[in-house]
Amino acid sequence: MGEMLVKKSKTWAAAFLLLASLPFQLAARDQASEVQENSLSRPFSLSICGNPSAQPTLSPAVPPTLLPSTPQATGPSLPAAPPRGGEFSLRSISRDFLKDAGQIWSYPVHIRARDILPIVGLAALTGFLIGNDEAIYRGFRDYRDTHAWVRGVSPVITQMGSYGAWGTAAIFLGVGLIAQDARSKETAVLASSAMLQSEILVLFLKGMFGRQRPEYEAGVDHWSGPVGFFKMFEPGQLGRYDSFPGGHSITAFSLATVVAMQYRESVWVPILAYTTATGVALSRTTENKHWLSDSLVGGVLGYVIGRLVVRNHRSRYHMTPTVGVAHGSRSFAFTFSFRLASVRKTV
């Protein structure tokens, strides 16, 4: 009996450490991805000036790396970052949302060879957790019962997978509108899109798997399949069979991934974002709402969807008109940004 308890304790402790190290792994992956993308960047510029003999000076919206190799004209200092996307509209948001949804729902028929190994690894890890979910769940619950700080923090951080997540997106939007911060507004729109995509997907998967939540039958794991969806209409059954995958986890990681990618020039923003999302995933077990495997799969799906939404947005065309003055002559420029085959170009 003692050996069994030690084995169960080691199992849930290992699972906890796995998720606890997740923020640093994801932040490191994002930084590596940023370096790879920057190495593929090939910038170009095009300027149309009023006086052909004059050297062009572009407005601050165009980075200095895009200027041709000519003597530098006098003018205002230019930022190093490339221009961000233009203004959003209801039409553009709806169009992009539908395009992203098409990629998400058609992904199973477009699986690439390089995706097979990560999918197999995730399936193996999920299978291991499912087989040990009951022991892991009891370990988490015992830890919560014996640590007051967990009982105080868990109910708060878990809200970052629901109201808190949408509130964060609203804050980004408010800051963007008040401070005229284009990146903040962009983050709010992309985060909202990713979270909505995630919630639609997770509702479908919950209905397909019909897994019983651990709060029922004293933590006994049970799968009912699609039948569980119809059981929700029976008295006292609402929410009983919608445990897998975790909804709070997929929402939290969708938000965290968008924020991390939008502000990944900072080391701490991705770590803070992913740490918060991981805390949400862990809190779903301490709050008696989900098995750990639910949170794992939900978190992975949220991460993938968040990356897809951001990368798709960056791959779409953007045009920024700029006006400047070079040697007494007015100059005009149009900056296009697009990505093709993992190569970002600016014309």
For the chain, the residue count is 347
Largest CA distance in the chain: 89
CA distances from 119 to 37, 77, 126, 217 (A): 23, 47, 10, 32
**How many C-beta atoms surround the C-beta of residue 198 within 10 A?**
29
Model confidence at 110, in pLDDT bands (50, 70, 90)?
Answer: confident
- The yes-or-no verdict on residue 14 having pLDDT over 70 is no
pLDDT at 32: 61
pTM for the full model? 0.74
Angle at 80 between CA 74 and CA 86, to 5 degrees: 100
Cα separation, 147 vs 40, in Å, equals: 49
The SS3 of residue 173 is helix
- The yes-or-no verdict on residue 114 having pLDDT over 60 is yes
What is the 3 state secondary structure string of 198-248?
HHHHHHHHHHHHCECCCCCCCCCCCECCCHHHHHCCCCCCCCCCCCCCCHH
Phi-psi bin for 44: left (phi > 0), alpha (psi -120 to 50), beta? beta
Residues of the chain with CATH 1.20.144: 2-40+89-316
Residue with tokens 């221009």: 83
The SS3 of residue 160 is helix
Two structure tokens written together for 341: 């085959």
Two structure tokens written together for 289: 């709402």
Express each pLDDT in 57-84 by its tens digit.
444 444 444 444 444 444 443 333 333 4
Express each pLDDT in 310-324 by its tens digit.
999 998 745 444 555
**How many C-beta atoms surround the C-beta of residue 97 within 10 A?**
17
Express each pLDDT in 211-254 by its tens digit.
999 999 888 999 999 988 888 878 888 889 999 999 999 999 99
The fold for domain 2-40+89-316 equals Vanadium-containing Chloroperoxidase; domain 1 (1.20.144)
Q: Is the dihedral of CA 337, 338, 343, 347 positive or negative?
A: negative
- Going by C-beta distance under 8 Å and a sequence separation of 6 or more, which residues neighbour residue 316? 85, 96, 338
